[in-house]
């Protein structure tokens, strides 16, 4: 018996959201999407019972903007377990170790979805357990411990259970949006979290994540106290550009918006004609960012898991060997984990401006080089895996075009002819687009962004919003012309 025969009774019985039987009207899709978004914001404000305050420092740190969720809430783990499970499946699928044909075999599709759910449950438990029992991120409230009379360990298990339930909820919320709403739940949660931090980074009058909004900071710089440095001095100019003025962060944020929107519009359009309707023509666009920026989540999640392991080891061992890593105030300052840590802000690398957090210029340059290599190479690799596992490769796309009744003018009317043409563009564009997104993400992190949302978070938000706009426009078009829905499936 193969592993599929052994696991099939379990994987096929995993709970799932029922698919709609027919066409879901556009207004109903918007309703489901809005409802899940409201539920997401509600759950991020439900504090875990038994927790001391809102917990300790956020173990996810700067990765929080792309992993969604909220510190100390039911959605503590965010989409982290879903992304980690996707990484495992992408690697196993890319190495062809699963033996699943998700494109043509319905049974394998069900097994793949069930396997993904099982992995998400396992990853949720593996993420929550060390957060509760092996770190200071989620300390139990001594008062609750004494009131319940079940001991600190009992309260910790209660906290773990709530976080685990939150991880299951976000899994099914994502599935509801994917089947009944517009776009995907993961993309929706990332947009919600990043947008909230962006708006707060502009208009907040109270310290948010350690700092106020840009408008409040500008007011302080222009009309602040006597100890505020003059803008005409070098120190004042530095404060305006990369300090509280955040001029560089504003420029970077606007530049990322412009570059991503432009890159989304750069495409190679392959002409198509319909074999069923004479004179009907169309084009299949192969975009520069063909695999989208979602593979960047996988790369950043891999980096997060490495840093998370380092934090847990540091707290458990008390003091790790210097070559492995050294920490100060919860921040890695040296060793292997330091070089593997991504650059998150100008303060991490601008040694020539008196920053760099005390590390030497050589150490900082090595860290920047490692981060660039990981993001560029990793972005290209995961983009290739993404295209393969989401049926966006030349073979799967050619089959979809052929099934819709379209063909490429001047070529034979078969799948192989379409595949040969697509194979000239899709693999190359996938690698170039993945590497480009990785470079943009590191560049945005190095220069800083409004609200410290991270370059990857901003890239994801702009790209997902752009695709969401395209999908909404397509849904409205299909709603106005039902025949087009039948033609394009």
Rounded CA separation 424/455 (Å): 31
**CA 169 from chain center: how many Å?**
18
Residue ranges, comma separated, of all CATH 1.10.3370.10 domains in the chain are 25-197, 249-489
> Does 394 score more than 80 pLDDT?
yes
Which residue has better confidence, 395 or 225?
Answer: 395
Place domain 249-489 in its CATH homologous superfamily. SecY subunit domain (1.10.3370.10)
pLDDT tier for residue 113 given thresholds of 50, 70 and 90? confident
Which residue has better confidence, 209 or 103?
Answer: 103
- List Cβ neighbours of 277 (8 Å cut-off, separation of 6 or more): 405, 487
The values of phi and psi at residue 314, to 5°, are: -65, -40
Q: Look at the domain 25-197 and name its fold.
A: Preprotein translocase SecY subunit (1.10.3370)
Rounded CA separation 476/489 (Å): 15
Q: Could you tell me if 75 and 69 are in contact, meaning their C-beta atoms sit under 8 angstroms apart? A: yes
Token duo for residue 402: 């052929």
The values of phi and psi at residue 150, to 5°, are: -115, 10
pLDDT at 230: 57
Residue 461 half-sphere exposure, CB side, CA atoms within 13 Å? 26
> Does 458 score more than 80 pLDDT?
yes
The values of phi and psi at residue 286, to 5°, are: -105, 100
pLDDT tier for residue 170 given thresholds of 50, 70 and 90? very high
Question: In the predicted model, what is the mean pLDDT of the chain?
Answer: 83
pLDDT at 267: 87
Which residue has better confidence, 336 or 206?
Answer: 336
The values of phi and psi at residue 284, to 5°, are: -105, 115
Which residue has better confidence, 177 or 305?
Answer: 177
pLDDT at 452: 75
pLDDT digits 0-9 by tens, 333-357: 889 999 999 988 888 888 776 666 7
How many C-beta atoms surround the C-beta of residue 475 within 10 A?
Answer: 18
Cβ burial of 368 (10 Å; 0-12, 13-18, 19+) is: middle
**CA 98 from chain center: how many Å?**
25
């Amino acid at each position: 018996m193969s592993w599929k025969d052994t696991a099939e009774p379990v994987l096929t019985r995993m709970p799932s959201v029922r698919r709609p039987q027919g066409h879901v009207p556009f207004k109903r899709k918007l309703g489901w999407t809005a409802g899940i978004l409201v539920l997401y914001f509600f759950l991020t404000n439900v504090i875990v019972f038994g927790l001391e305050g809102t917990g300790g420092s956020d173990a996810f740190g700067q990765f929080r903007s792309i992993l969604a969720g909220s510190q100390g809430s039911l959605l503590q783990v965010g989409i982290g377990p879903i992304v980690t499970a996707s990484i495992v499946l992408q690697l196993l699928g890319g190495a062809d170790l699963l033996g699943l044909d998700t494109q043509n075999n319905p049974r394998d599709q069900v097994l793949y979805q069930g396997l993904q759910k099982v992995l998400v449950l396992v990853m949720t438990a593996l993420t929550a357990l060390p957060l509760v029992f092996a770190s200071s991120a989620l300390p139990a409230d001594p008062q609750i411990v004494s009131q319940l009379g079940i001991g600190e360990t009992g309260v910790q298990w209660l906290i773990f259970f709530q976080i685990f339930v939150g991880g299951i909820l976000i899994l099914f919320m994502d599935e509801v949006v994917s089947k009944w709403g517009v776009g995907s739940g993961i993309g929706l949660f990332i947009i919600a979290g990043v947008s909230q931090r962006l708006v707060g980074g502009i208009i907040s009058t109270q310290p948010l994540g350690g700092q106020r909004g840009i408008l409040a900071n500008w007011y302080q710089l222009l009309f602040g106290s006597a100890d505020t440095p003059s803008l005409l001095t070098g120190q004042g100019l530095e404060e305006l550009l990369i300090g509280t003025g955040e001029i560089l962060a504003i420029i970077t944020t606007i530049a990322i918006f412009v570059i991503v929107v432009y890159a989304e519009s750069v495409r190679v359009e392959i002409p198509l004609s319909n074999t069923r309707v004479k004179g009907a023509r169309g084009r299949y666009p192969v975009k520069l960012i063909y695999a989208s920026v979602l593979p960047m989540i996988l790369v950043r999640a891999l980096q997060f898991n490495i840093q998370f392991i380092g934090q847990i080891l540091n707290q458990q061992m008390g003091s790790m060997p210097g070559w492995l890593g050294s920490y100060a105030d919860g921040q890695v300052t040296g060793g292997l984990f330091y070089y593997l840590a991504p650059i998150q802000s100008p303060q991490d690398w601008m040694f020539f401006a008196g920053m760099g957090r005390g590390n030497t210029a050589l150490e900082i340059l090595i860290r920047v080089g490692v981060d660039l290599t990981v993001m560029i190479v990793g972005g290209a690799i995961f983009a290739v895996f993404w295209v393969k596992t989401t049926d966006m490769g030349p073979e799967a796309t050619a089959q979809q075009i052929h099934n819709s009744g379209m063909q490429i003018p001047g070529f034979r009317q078969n799948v192989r002819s379409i595949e040969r043409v697509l194979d000239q563009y899709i693999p190359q564009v996938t690698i170039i687009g993945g590497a480009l997104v990785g470079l943009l993400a590191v560049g945005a992190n190095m220069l800083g962004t409004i609200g410290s949302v991270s370059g990857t978070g901003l890239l994801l938000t702009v790209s997902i919003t752009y695709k969401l706009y395209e999908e909404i426009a397509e849904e409205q078009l299909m709603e106005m012309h039902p025949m087009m829905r039948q033609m394009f499936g």
